[in-house]
Structure 1
Amino acid sequence: MMAAMPDALTPASADDLVAALAFALRFQGRKRVHNADEIMAEIVARRLAEHLSRAGFVVMKRPSEVGAAALGRGFEG
């Protein structure tokens, strides 16, 4: 059974959301974590992707345009 929700709920501000996400990225539980930038980017991407998946979001991708793969590999035709 789910607990009753308080009547005085209001939308979180963007600043509140940023502060909560920044805290989650700096701490694991109550322990401060220190990582290099590359590692941090991987951690952030993974956490955000996992959260979006749990929240029911679906990210769609368009098919690449004709020749886009070759251009991405440096083709200068």
Structure 2
Amino acid sequence: MRINEIKKNLISILNENFSKDIDDNIDNIKLLDEGIGLDSLQIIEYIMYIEDYFAIMIPDSELDPEKFYDIVALARFIKSIMEN
């Protein structure tokens, strides 16, 4: 799966499960705080939706805030998990 496809799926998960209205042009917008505005509990929920959607397991040891900084960083991280 390509990064752009992963990004679109990640945005769809946000829109469908967190009542967001996000378009595809959010590459550098933060997922937390003043960006998209997910709080720490919503990030945990988002991770669970991601694991289900992509049929992957994100190890606790990999839960680094830099990997969840924005959609591009998250898409790259997911792609790396899917390739391993």
TM-score by length of 1: 0.29
Larger radius of gyration: 1
Greater fraction helix: 2
Greater fraction strand: 1
TM-score by length of 2: 0.27
Task: State the structure with bigger RCO (CA 8 A, min sep 6), 1 or 2.
Answer: 2
